[in-house]
Amino acid sequence: MAEKKQVVLTDPRAIRALAHPARQLVIDELYNGRVLTATECAELAGLTPSAMSYHLRSLERWGIVERAESTDGRERPWRAPAKGLVIPSQSTASGRMANQAMMRVALDRILQLFADMPGDDPWDDISAMSRSRLWLTRDETEQLGTELQELVDRYRKGRTKEDHPEGTRAVHTLFTVVPSGEAPRP
């Protein structure tokens, strides 16, 4: 079976299912190519295996994760069903609230990564966070989002935690494209 390129979430309930730090930690690992058992996921997230099984089943219900082939018949591992997870803009109030809950968890994780970086880390001088305000048309805004995703995909190069060149390390990225103010009238 060919792996899908992306899982696209549009249901606010599915997006809300992402708004848990343990779930996002495990999703990050699975979407970076790892295949993990509930016990391994629990160890990563600091939960019990039964609590993690609950979280994995909840994510499975929305197609965010899926069961992988078992190698020994006993353990039932989990994997990402696609290369990427996309949450398009939500135009309903419940959709926006779900997006905001999920984004708060993601932003908290990025902020924690910055806080945890030791002062003597030789890569510290290249860590960055950027914020910009651009005046773009709708088409330009759509193109910006597409190009940013293509850029990240180009650097991803199929590398995983288990399979990457020597001298590399995990680098977390976060970008948003959020129109603000009133939409221009046609």
Which phi and psi angles does 130 have, rounded to 5°? -130, 145
pLDDT band at 97 (very low <50, low <70, confident <90, very high): confident
Q: Give the position of tokens 């709708």.
A: 138
Does residue 31 carry a pLDDT above 60?
Answer: yes
Strands 4-8 and 82-86: parallel
Residue that wins the pLDDT comparison between 26 and 124: 26
In the chain, which ranges are E strands? 4-8, 66-67, 78-79, 82-86
pLDDT band at 53 (very low <50, low <70, confident <90, very high): very high
Sequence-ordered list of residues with C-beta below 8 angstroms from that of 27, at least 6 positions apart, any chain = 18, 59, 64, 65, 80, 85
Question: Which of 34-48, 56-70, 126-140, 168-182 is least confident?
Answer: 168-182
Token representation of residue 177: 């494209």
Q: Which CATH number fits domain 4-118: 3.40.190.10, 1.10.10.10, 3.40.140.10, 3.40.50.970?
A: 1.10.10.10
174 touches 110 (CB < 8 A): yes
pLDDT band at 42 (very low <50, low <70, confident <90, very high): very high
Output the DSSP codes for 56-103: HHHHHHTTSSEE---SSSS---EE-SEEEEE-----SHHHHHHHHHHH
Supply the pTM of this predicted model.
0.69
Phi-psi group of 18: left, alpha or beta (phi > 0 → left; psi -120 to 50 → alpha; rest → beta):
alpha
Q: Give the position of tokens 């690992």.
A: 29
pLDDT band at 109 (very low <50, low <70, confident <90, very high): confident
Q: Could you tell me where in the chain the CATH 1.10.10.10 domains are found?
A: 4-118
Q: Let me know how long the chain is.
A: 186
Q: Give the pLDDT confidence of 77-94 residue by residue, as tens digits.
A: 999 999 888 877 666 777
β-strand partners of 67 = 78
Taking residues 122-138, what's their average pLDDT? 86
pLDDT band at 48 (very low <50, low <70, confident <90, very high): very high
